[in-house]
Amino acid sequence: MKPINPVRHGKNPAAAKPGLHPRNRHQGRYDFPALIRKCPALAPFVAINIHGDESVDFASPAAVRALNRALLSLHYGISVWDIPPRYLCPPVPGRADYLHYLADLLAGSNGGVIPRGKSVRALDIGVGANCIYPLLGHAEYGWSFIGSDIDPVALNCAEGIVQANALSRGIDFRWQESAAAIFKGVVQESDFFDLTLCNPPFHASLAEAREGSERKWRNLGKEDDRKKSPALNFGGHDAELWCEGGEEGFLRRMISESAGMAQHCFWFTTLVSKASSLPAIHEELKKVRALNVKTIKMSQGQKQSRIVAWTFFDDNRIRSWRQGQEKNGNGKH
């Protein structure tokens, strides 16, 4: 087994991942022997790193896709998974963390019991070609998902993954026709969602997105490889990486629009990558008079992130929601 290219500054992505949610399946190092037994195609990408551990080259899109495919197969029963070139290839442990914290959020209004099963409905804004949140959320908690996106290619790919894994009864998709809208045109009059989730684009322009990619290449010590290939480990199509106004602008629009959907969803949530976006987010939430706002810190190794969640439900609506969970067998035992 040949050594892989070292990661700069002594970082070891395969090492223990401190800060993950207690229910996250990906504590500690990846079990590469088990992953390879499940997905033999991963084997050529695994080598010994400078720390003496088995790992993959996280600057290689092909290696990261192979690792994701193996993780999804071994831990979540997803036997078929792939994405087109240049589309976002998400880190599975971090995406799973978001879902576990959302489960805790629902449990907090349900007597400490996590609601499970298809009666719990979630809306994934910007589901992407990878379809990662519906796949993980359905596998972990049995929740039903609607995934929306403005990119028909991404939706077609996500739908193909779902059909190949016989999950169409639990996961469906809707095309967002307007790049200016988030919930409008997707949420129908008869819809009710227990929660929404989103991993928003965080760059404000294509130039800023490219600079972010350049910085990642430098941090990985892969400047020469960057010249050979424009892709970067977890990748990302333009619409997945940037939008007008960046993360802050996108989330201001999301919050403003959520006020008009107040009776269609219990908890609206989003990831927030930049701490500098929080003041504007909380300002907008005050403006729309959200009744309850939570900021949940997340930490995966050296990466710091957070979830912002808000609801327009008063105590009576929350009580009614809880009674509905009890009827569905998700009440306190």
Q: What is the pLDDT along the chain (333 residues), one digit of tens a residue?
A: 444 443 333 344 444 456 899 999 999 999 999 999 999 999 999 999 888 999 999 888 899 999 999 999 999 999 999 999 889 899 999 999 999 999 999 999 999 999 999 999 999 999 999 999 999 999 999 999 999 999 999 999 999 999 999 999 999 999 999 988 999 999 999 999 999 999 998 534 445 444 544 544 455 455 554 444 444 444 545 554 445 668 999 999 999 999 999 999 999 999 998 899 999 999 999 999 999 999 999 987 677 899 999 999 999 999 999 999 998 889 865
Strand order in the sheet with 265-272: 171-175, 144-149, 121-125, 193-198, 265-272, 303-311, 292-300
Adjacent-strand bridge partners of 297? 306
Cα dihedral sign for 36, 37, 38, 40?
A: positive
State how far the Cα of 47 lies from the Cα of 54, in Å rounded to an integer.
Answer: 5
Give the pLDDT confidence score for residue 282 in this predicted structure.
Answer: 97
- In degrees rounded to 5, what are phi and psi of residue 181? -105, 160
Burial class (CB in 10 A: 0-12, 13-18, 19+), 206: exposed
Residues 94-152 pLDDT 10s: 999 999 999 999 999 999 999 999 999 999 999 999 999 999 999 999 999 999 999 99
- The tokens for 72 are 């999804």
Give the pLDDT confidence score for residue 59 in this predicted structure.
Answer: 85
- In degrees rounded to 5, what are phi and psi of residue 121? -115, 135
Give the pLDDT confidence score for residue 119 in this predicted structure.
Answer: 97
Count CB atoms within 10 A of the CB of residue 102: 25
SS (H, E, C) 80-124: CCCCCCCCCCCCHHHHHHHHHHHHHHHHCCCCCCCCCCCCCEEEE
Give the pLDDT confidence score for residue 332 in this predicted structure.
Answer: 67
Cα dihedral sign for 252, 254, 255, 256?
A: positive
DSSP state of 142: -
- Are the C-beta atoms of residues 283 and 255 closer than 8 Å to each other? no
Give the pLDDT confidence score for residue 239 in this predicted structure.
Answer: 52
Give the pLDDT confidence score for residue 201 in this predicted structure.
Answer: 83
Residues 254-271 pLDDT 10s: 999 999 999 999 999 999
- Are the C-beta atoms of residues 19 and 301 closer than 8 Å to each other? yes
Give the pLDDT confidence score for residue 219 in this predicted structure.
Answer: 52
Give the pLDDT confidence score for residue 6 in this predicted structure.
Answer: 37
State how far the Cα of 272 lies from the Cα of 74, in Å rounded to an integer.
Answer: 29
Name all domains of the chain by residue range, CATH numbers in brackets. Answer: 8-327 (3.40.50.150)
Give the pLDDT confidence score for residue 243 in this predicted structure.
Answer: 53
The string of DSSP codes covering 261-321 is GGGGEEEEEEEE--GGGHHHHHHHHHHTT-SEEEEEEEEETTEEEEEEEEE---HHHHHHH
Give the pLDDT confidence score for residue 333 in this predicted structure.
Answer: 53
Give the pLDDT confidence score for residue 331 in this predicted structure.
Answer: 80
pTM assigned to the model:
0.86
